[in-house]
Structure 1
Amino acid sequence: MEELLSEDERRRARAAAPGTHEGLRQRRPRAEQERDEAQEETRQARAGQQQAEAARAAAERAAANVRAAAREAERAHRQGIRPVIMPTRAEYEAAKRRLEYREGYFHFAVAGVAGSGKSSLVNAFRGLHNGADDPHVARTGVTETTERITRYLDPNEANPFVWYDIPGAGTLSVPDWQYFNDQGLYIFDAIVVLTDSRFTATDIAILQNCERFQIPSYIVRSKSLQHIQNVLNDMPRVRYEEFETRWERARSKYMAETQKNVSANLLQAGLPPQAVYMVDKEVLLEIAEGNNPEETIDEFRLVEDMLLEARNRRVDASMIPDALAVTTYLNSAASNIAGAFTT
């Protein structure tokens, strides 16, 4: 028996020996396991390498961003540009309470440099004469008379508008760089940026913030009839030229130069192209009083655009208690203005 068992054992040993069919069959699972383990090690090594490369790339991007931010901060410091400061939710709500923002109304701010005629424009939009003995009239003067934001309801109760006369930037009490945030201009539904004889860095700053906060803005150049007269006075006379022809030439020159100046400033500031409305307060006053003045520039277009913007942004039953009444009024006003163009 021992001899038989020994013989069996010898046969099994020979069968399992390397190179035999049985030996190869028994070794295959181990080889496959070793191969799988090697592949897993390779995969893990490759994954680790990819993670390391991704981390290195992220670190390089972060470092590049830091360097770019440092360069931008240095450039801004050299140019006197202040950092952009976004208001917090608490500051936003506090500004709305302070300025008596009311849902269902459209809130217009008239802003710009000191002495550009903001108070006169607020009066003209509401059909009020400067200096009238009326508590609703915004105070005007040669020097900057608005020392704090003043809120004015439209005297016509059918108009869902509230007008704000904003202190002029550039005064000692209102530094240019903090003008927009300090005045809480980010709460308004639309902002009129009023310019006079120049387009300033303050105007650009306001427009940049309007773009940032997605607030509709209107670039308005005031005192336009006087500016046209100044251009006319400086123009060389052409023999036998009628006054109306000279006036039209001066008007065209003034409008072209104003639009060119504004476009150049917008391009330099990295802002999209935007129209400039050239107006005169006396003409706006006549329109507000229901008249159809003979000499106009962009006054009708400005009023129409502002009314249409108000309708598009505020005719919403969830925001306006009586949306139908507001829609009816704005449609009627826009129709009257459109009719004035054709008369």
Structure 2
Amino acid sequence: MQRGITQAVAAGCWLASKLFGSGGSDPNPTYAAIQEREWAEAERDRAIKDLANTRAQVTQLVQTIQGMQNRALQFQQDALSAAAVAQQRNQEQMTAMVAAERAANAARFAAENAARLATEESKNKAKEAEAERQRTQAAMEGARRAVEAVQQDAERLQRAAEEEKKKADEAIAGAEAARKAAENGVREATAAKEDAERRLKEGIQPVVTPTPREILAAQEKIQYQENLFHFAVAGRAGGGKSSLVNAFRGMSNRAVGSARTGVIETTLTVGRYPDPDERCQHVWYDLPGAGTMKIPDWQYFNAQGLYVFDCIVVLFDNRFTQTDIAILLNCRRFKIPTYIVRSKADQHIRNIMKEMGYESDDENFDRTQRSAMYVAAREQLVEETRRNVKANLAEANLPDHKVYVVSSSCLRTVAKGEQSPRVIDEINLLNDLYMEAQARRVRREESEGISTSEIGPK
């Protein structure tokens, strides 16, 4: 209650400052100042109303305390009634002792025990009544102090309002200066943003070459090892990077040691996931999504240290965007092998089938019709995806690039060495990735004079 009253008083102080702050010495107030004054007057009335409500709450608290006193008296009456009942029981037991001599001892013991229990119960109720009375007195004292605090706070509020009125003119002048400065800052930031977006659309990206120290720091960050092949899955936020990393490793999203997945962007730092098969010298990396407020498109490549990875999978979901173009341009500059992958193929195929008129609960569709419609939707998805990517690459002056259309569930099945009836590009993607890793390993070991007779993919 005390905190609620204090908050009401604090709100009143602030409202009073707004009310008296808008009534400066300016004989020609602006329309904004008039509006601010009207708003402040409304807030003052609301503060007064809140104070009245607080007083009503105090009155209600006093009524509650009175009710607690009544219950305390009732507890005392119950204690007296319990004692009377105990006394009556004692008399009845004494009479029974006279009438039945054989059961005299047992009856006497029972009567004494019952009397003892009744006495203890009476004492306990008396103690409870006394405790209730003390709590009631404490509550009444708290209410009295709360009323006094309200009065004192009201006086402080009045004094604070008078002081704030004196500072109102200076505050208005400072606010106006701050507003003008903020408008200038917004205009400059907007111009810079528009220029950066224009340059990005035109393919003019800031060229930032990492220093040797930055390269070493990036390698240490991902725990880079020369005897391992480091795959990175990059792309815009929400594209399914974590699910794809789990699928590459043949793991479900809920398995122990899998990359965390979710509806929103859940990967905030680089996740390092070794292959479950210890014989495979592959490490998978789940990178935070690009295109967020924290990671702008053009800074994504250098910010995540992508220049230290051996291979980068550029993942996209619905559209091939400028983020993907920026990654490919930088990968080309650093001569890093890249693989363009469109994820969530199963979802896209279902959406295309619905556009064709398919409904899963429609009994008119038999298995043959559904299979034919699935094949048509899959071909449409693959053709549209590759056409879209090819057009975007040509617009960015990049050479044509192979595109893989996959679903995480099917890729996970293939990665585990099992067969799936709905394979699109999953097998080709895994083979190409592992062939790239094998080729790099062969080149490195040949340069070091190491035998490659037992080298092979997973």
Q: Normalization by structure 2: what TM-score?
A: 0.53
Q: Aligned to 2:385, which of 258, 261, 280?
A: 258
CA distance 1:122–1:326, shift in 2 (3 Å): farther
Q: Is the CA contact (8 Å cut-off) linking 2:415 and 2:430 kept in structure 1?
A: no
| Residues 1:291 and 2:412 aligned together | no
Mapping of 1:297-308 within 5 angstroms? 297-308=424-435
Structure 2 distance, partners of 1:122, 1:325, is 29
Cα deviation, 1:205-230, whole Å, max 9, x if unaligned, reads: 00111111110101000010110111
Q: Aligned to 2:404, which of 253, 262, 277?
A: 277
TM-superposed CA distance for 1:243, in Å, is 2.0
Number of the residue aligned with 1:115: 238
Question: Root-mean-square deviation (CA), in Å?
Answer: 2.4
Structure 1 distance, partners of 2:264, 2:409, is 20
Q: Normalization by structure 1: what TM-score?
A: 0.70
| Residues 1:146 and 2:273 aligned together | no
Counterpart secondary structure, 1:192: strand
Mapping of 1:1-343 within 5 angstroms? 77=196, 79-81=198-200, 82-132=205-255, 134=256, 136-235=257-356, 242-315=369-442, 316-317=444-445, 324=452, 327=455, 329-330=456-457, 333=458
CA distance 1:295–1:189, shift in 2 (3 Å): same
CA distance 1:320–1:228, shift in 2 (3 Å): farther
Counterpart secondary structure, 2:445: coil
For 1:187, give the aligned amino acid. Answer: V
Counterpart secondary structure, 2:273: strand
How many positions carry a matched residue from both structures?
Answer: 255
Q: Is the CA contact (8 Å cut-off) linking 2:446 and 2:452 kept in structure 1?
A: no
Cα deviation, 1:235-263, whole Å, max 9, x if unaligned, reads: 25799982222211111111111100000
For 1:300, give the aligned amino acid. Answer: I
TM-superposed CA distance for 1:312, in Å, is 1.0
Greater mean deviation of Cα atoms: 298-307 or 281-290? 281-290
Counterpart secondary structure, 2:340: strand
Counterpart secondary structure, 1:107: strand
Cα deviation, 1:73-113, whole Å, max 9, x if unaligned, reads: xx965704341111112211221112111001100000000
Structure 2 distance, partners of 1:326, 1:97, is 29
Which protein has the larger Cα radius of gyration, Structure 1 or Structure 2?
A: 2
For 1:310, give the aligned amino acid. Answer: A
Structure 1 distance, partners of 2:277, 2:452, is 17
Greater mean deviation of Cα atoms: 243-252 or 264-273? 243-252
Structure 2 distance, partners of 1:158, 1:321, is 21
Structure 2 distance, partners of 1:301, 1:265, is 23
Structure 1 distance, partners of 2:414, 2:286, is 20
Of Structure 1 and Structure 2, the greater helix share is in: 2
Provide the identity percentage. Answer: 49
For 1:128, give the aligned amino acid. Answer: M
Number of the residue aligned with 2:24: none
Counterpart secondary structure, 2:371: helix
TM-superposed CA distance for 1:137, in Å, is 0.9
Q: Is the CA contact (8 Å cut-off) linking 1:105 and 1:320 kept in structure 2?
A: no
Structure 1 distance, partners of 2:334, 2:296, is 20
Structure 2 distance, partners of 1:78, 1:97, is 32
TM-superposed CA distance for 1:172, in Å, is 2.1
For 2:445, give the aligned amino acid. Answer: A
For 1:115, give the aligned amino acid. Answer: G
In structure 1, runs of 5+ residues without a counterpart are 1-74, 334-343
Cα deviation, 1:14-43, whole Å, max 9, x if unaligned, reads: xxxxxxxxxxxxxxxxxxxxxxxxxxxxxx
Counterpart secondary structure, 2:393: helix
Counterpart secondary structure, 1:110: strand
TM-superposed CA distance for 1:295, in Å, is 1.0
Structure 2 distance, partners of 1:149, 1:106, is 16
Number of the residue aligned with 2:149: none
CA distance 1:248–1:176, shift in 2 (3 Å): same
CA distance 1:296–1:320, shift in 2 (3 Å): farther
TM-superposed CA distance for 1:326, in Å, is 6.1
For 2:198, give the aligned amino acid. Answer: Q
Structure 2 distance, partners of 1:165, 1:320, is 31
Cα deviation, 1:103-132, whole Å, max 9, x if unaligned, reads: 011000000000000000101101111022
Structure 2 distance, partners of 1:320, 1:97, is 23
For 1:94, give the aligned amino acid. Answer: A
CA distance 1:219–1:242, shift in 2 (3 Å): same
Greater mean deviation of Cα atoms: 219-228 or 312-321? 312-321
TM-superposed CA distance for 1:318, in Å, is 6.0
TM-superposed CA distance for 1:171, in Å, is 1.8
CA distance 1:322–1:161, shift in 2 (3 Å): farther
